Structure 1
Amino acid sequence: MPRPPEYCDLFTYRKRSVVPENVQELARELGVSFQRKKVSAELVSAFRSALQNLPAESVPRGASEIREIAQMNMAYGHREPIGLGTRFLQALGLNHKNGDTLLQDHPDLGWLLMFHGSGYVRQAAMEALTTSPSCPFEVAAVVYRLNDWVRNVRTASTTYGREFLVTASAEAISESAFFLLPQMNFLSRWDDQALSVLQDSIYRTEVLDEMREQFLAPRRGKVGQSLRLILQRADFDIHLENLALDARLPTVRAIAVETLLMGRARWFVGYRREWVNKVYGITRRVAEFETRNIEIDFEVEEILGAAARDKSSLVRRIAADLLISKREQLTAEMAELSDVLRNDKSSAVRSRIDFLDRTIASA
């Protein structure tokens, strides 16, 4: 994933922060106001507005930084000793039996308190929220609460996500998906219901249309990995032909061409250990992939011809690989494309066509 931008750290001992200076200042001011039980609607609104420009990949590190800046760690930051359970919530103004609570008056305060060091407060924050995430950072923050180490927080987050995450804007979901899709293999605490909430959010038609536009344009990060992961379900298959012909990034064109011509989607799922020498206890790490057959109609000759003439050797190699796999059923058009690739400037492409020629000659 791309590294989030860094800024000067204003309040902690870190040298750099992934949280912009204005967000740091607002988080500190809102955290102090929360402790003093003097929160204003203007300050809550200003803090949430400041989150709009944060990328989704800032959440893992940004959550701990915001918690520390706003003095919401369990170890310090409170002005008086307080107990746990009901007394703890009362001291923070979070007792649900009291109608005049800070979160009831300012539900959007939950966008700060979801990073609190106490699971009681994070749960109350998720239960108080009444609006959908409005930016990639908020989407990713909710997904990380779906994976919270406290079961009650995960339950509250799943209930929230079922109502509000699935209605977030297509732009916010699609942009955060480039970060969240690879993270799904590492977020291990959530259950099938929480995973279903995230998938229902990402695989909405309008979100997939927005992601197609993102894949067509150049962007940084492991875009190819995200494309392979979105292909775990068939919902995105209808966009593959468009990507194979018009995507700006060679990696995206290569994956789309490979998926179409080979008739299967392939994505990384993890690693396994494989024995090299049992006597000496030597193993190696081997990548594991899962596959899914795709069944969509497209012009094979058009895709193959475009791939054989692509300006990237990565894509041309895939065209050569398909010619090898279809060597027993080569059409006149395919034979013509092999002539085009025979003198390719890439040695990797030429060697494949040379193998094709030798195989045909020996048959």
Structure 2
Amino acid sequence: MSMNSVLPDGLRAGLNDLGSRLERQLPISREFDGMLDAINALPPAIVVRADSEIAHAANLRRWRRKYPLLVRLFSPCMADIDQLGRVSGLEFLFLFHRDGHVREAALRRLDAPIPSPFLFAAIAWRLNDWAAPVREAAAECAARCFPMTAPAIVAEAALTLLARENSWGRWTDERHVLRTAFARPDVADCLAASIRTRRTGPMATILRYALREGSLDAHLETLARDAVQPSVRAVAAQALIDGHATWPDGWTWRWIDKSMGLRCRETTYRHRPLDHGAPRIPVIEASANDRSAIVRRVATSGLIRHEVDGLVARRIATPLLRDRSPSVREQAEFILRTHRQDPA
């Protein structure tokens, strides 16, 4: 892979060869063989950077050179949009074309399951396209293709898109078709399994954004108990203890000192009651015995925030007085001071 490039060298070289024929407006056929497999293998996390790199490497320009009439009469000059009907799968490459008319035409040709997480993310990115007709075509394409796409492909793309789509500013109603795809029960099962078993990546952040909808609520008890990453167990346990999901929804300014003009940005949050909850005390008890301090802190914080029977609170907090984490010990001491035993 070239320095500062997200495309493998082999794919880039193939796109360069294809782009030279497109530049000369020559028909393409075998030049596209194997290229779709290489595009499918790209990770969905790079879709935004790959958008411009693929267009540049394949010479997918908006304007083409106008050859003289005599040349056009005696040579097979073809516009890019006319190549679409000749080469199977070319519509996936032309999702990255710089000409909005070509992007729109490519989207309108798609009527089958999306073959990879990367191309799923590419269509989702077109939902935020700068051209309104392309966004409309992308929404119609997603409504046709996303319901028939394999759940593992949708879930893998969701791991990238859930934490990013909130920052996309052009789309409006188009976002609903993407969230509908993520809310499929089979997709929710695959997504929950990935969040539970992945050892790397911002799985806790992804879980927070996934909890905007209720499709993962039924998986929260399993995630709180079995997730590999402690931060995931903490997010799931906190949602169950509080009875609602919380996720970042933007930011606002908070004044530090108005007289001095000092202010800072502060994240804002939204909340949603859980569709499937769990008894609070068993969740707190399980979290208090978790091997990670951040999960045990969720348990002690839950005892402080919510009204809990004094005897139960003392029973849970007392063993935590010897906890390895100073913050957990401090919260346990506060709980025991708050719930003092009545004198005999």
Name the TM-score, length of structure 1 as normaliser: 0.86
After superposition, the C-alpha distances for 1:2-27 in whole angstroms (9 at most, x for unaligned) are xxxxx22xxxxxx3310112221222
For the residue of structure 2 that corresponds to 1:283, the secondary structure is: strand
Residue from 68, 71, 74 that aligns with 2:59 = 71
For the residue of structure 2 that corresponds to 1:16, the secondary structure is: coil
CA, structure 1 residues 281+178, in 2 after alignment: closer, same or farther (shift >3 Å)? same
Residue from 308, 319, 327 that aligns with 1:340 = 319
Indicate if the aligned counterparts of 1:267 and 1:290 stay in contact, CA closer than 8 A: yes
Residue from 26, 35, 41 that aligns with 1:37 = 26
After superposition, the C-alpha distances for 1:56-108 in whole angstroms (9 at most, x for unaligned) are 11111111111111112347xx45469xxxxxxx95153xxxxxx32122252
Per-residue deviation, 1:328: 5.0
Question: What residue number does 1:322 align with?
Answer: 302
Question: What residue number does 2:79 align with?
Answer: 92
Per-residue deviation, 1:135: 1.1
Question: What residue number does 1:199 align with?
Answer: 179
For the residue of structure 1 that corresponds to 2:119, the secondary structure is: helix
For the residue of structure 1 that corresponds to 2:330, the secondary structure is: helix
CA distance in 1, matches of 2:113, 2:121: 12
After superposition, the C-alpha distances for 1:234-265 in whole angstroms (9 at most, x for unaligned) are 22100000101111100110001100011111
CA distance in 2, matches of 1:128, 1:327: 58
Residue from 252, 255, 266 that aligns with 2:232 = 252
Per-residue deviation, 1:117: 1.4
Unaligned runs of 5+ in 2: 69-76
CA distance in 1, matches of 2:9, 2:214: 42
Partner letter of residue 46 of structure 2? S
Q: Which moved more, 1:287-296 or 1:223-232?
A: 287-296
Residue from 293, 303, 307 that aligns with 2:287 = 307
Unaligned runs of 5+ in 1: 1-6, 9-14, 83-89, 95-100
Question: What residue number does 2:158 align with?
Answer: 177
Residue from 195, 202, 208 that aligns with 1:215 = 195
After superposition, the C-alpha distances for 1:155-192 in whole angstroms (9 at most, x for unaligned) are 11111111012322111111111111111211111121
Q: Which moved more, 1:139-148 or 1:27-36?
A: 27-36
After superposition, the C-alpha distances for 1:265-318 in whole angstroms (9 at most, x for unaligned) are 100011101222222322111110001122435354442222111111000001
- The equivalences for 1:66-145 within 5 A come to 66-74=54-62, 78-80=64-66, 92-94=79-81, 101-145=82-126
Deviating beyond 6 angstroms after TM superposition, the runs of 4 or more aligned structure 1 residues are none
CA, structure 1 residues 326+123, in 2 after alignment: closer, same or farther (shift >3 Å)? closer
Indicate if the aligned counterparts of 2:126 and 2:135 stay in contact, CA closer than 8 A: yes
Residue from 180, 205, 211 that aligns with 1:225 = 205
Q: Which moved more, 1:166-175 or 1:311-320?
A: 166-175
Q: How many corresponding residue pairs?
A: 333
Name the TM-score, length of structure 2 as normaliser: 0.90
Q: Percent identity among equivalent residues?
A: 29
